[in-house]
Chain A
Amino acid sequence: MKYALLLNNRSDDVERWAALSPDEAAAARAEEMPRWEALFARLGERGQWLSGVELDEPSLARTVRVVDGEPVVTDGPYAETREVVGGLMLVECADLDEAIELAAAVPLVDRGSVEIRPVVE
């Protein structure tokens, strides 16, 4: 069964990272990268990986609605929330328990959250 995993960071962490210098940000990324690579290797070995995308800062978002036939675009994300989506993964798992086990292995799960949503197939 396919599941979408929304990988969420705390907004206050996102703000803190936005204030880092490019060198500090690169160092933070480099430090965490091995854990992500281990996760991706595991997903690949188990045949669970389908696709994914890492997102840039929420402040770069635009939100569009169509009102009376015309697009209305606002700068910023859809809503200001305590946690914000930082990435999305599409995975193939036997059942929800397997998806939960996978989610618990995502590096940001101890400082943010992972939402598991079944995909309409």
Chain B
Amino acid sequence: MRYLALVHADDGAWAALSDDDRSAVYERYRAFTEEARGAGKLVDGHELQPASTATTVRVVDGDTVVTDGPFAELREQIGGYFVLDCESIDEAVALAAKIPAAERGAIEVRPAYEDGSS
């Protein structure tokens, strides 16, 4: 079953890292994706540009309203995501705990909708 792991991290702290420190973190992400892919658990994953680059679209009374910024102000913004393929949410959570940002921020694990569920 598929699970979406939303990576929440302080993007200000990320931007403030030295190039060397950032490279070290990317290396850990490379190792994570290689391990997860090798185990057949990784469907997809992407790093997102910071929340300051977000654009949010709504339609209100028939008018398209476009605003700069993310849809919600969070203490730790969404910085990326992975789509995981696991047997259970417990397994998905255990895998998500290996995402480097889990140490600095938090990973929200959301089950995908499967026809026949809620």
Contact = CB atoms under 8 A, between A and B. Distances in A.
B71 A8 contact: yes
Nearest to B57: A103
Contacts of A96: 55
B72 A83 contact: yes
Interface string B78-94: 10110100000100011
A26 to B, nearest CB: 10
Given A58-B110, A60-B111, A65 B57 contact: no
A109 B59 CA distance: 6
Interface in A22-56: 25, 51, 53-56
Contacts of B54: 115-117
B58 A113 contact: yes
A70 B108 CA distance: 16
Given A53-B112, A55-B111, 13 more contacts: A4-B48, A53-B4, A54-B112, A55-B112, A62-B93, A65-B107, A79-B72, A99-B55, A104-B64, A109-B58, A110-B60, A113-B71, A119-B49
30 contacts: A4-B81, A25-B118, A53-B2, A53-B4, A53-B112, A55-B4, A55-B113, A56-B117, A58-B110, A60-B111, A60-B118, A61-B110, A62-B89, A62-B93, A65-B103, A66-B102, A71-B94, A73-B97, A78-B8, A85-B4, A88-B4, A88-B81, A90-B46, A99-B55, A109-B58, A113-B57, A115-B55, A115-B56, A116-B55, A117-B78
Interface of A: 2, 4, 6, 8, 18, 25, 51, 53-58, 60-66, 71, 73, 77-79, 81-83, 85, 88, 90, 96, 99-100, 103-104, 109-110, 112-120
Interface of B: 2, 4, 6, 8, 44, 46-49, 51, 53-60, 64, 66, 70-72, 74-76, 78, 80-81, 83, 89, 93-94, 96-97, 102-103, 105-114, 117-118
Q: Which A-B residue pairs are the 4 nearest by beta carbons?
A: A71-B97, A120-B47, A110-B59, A103-B57
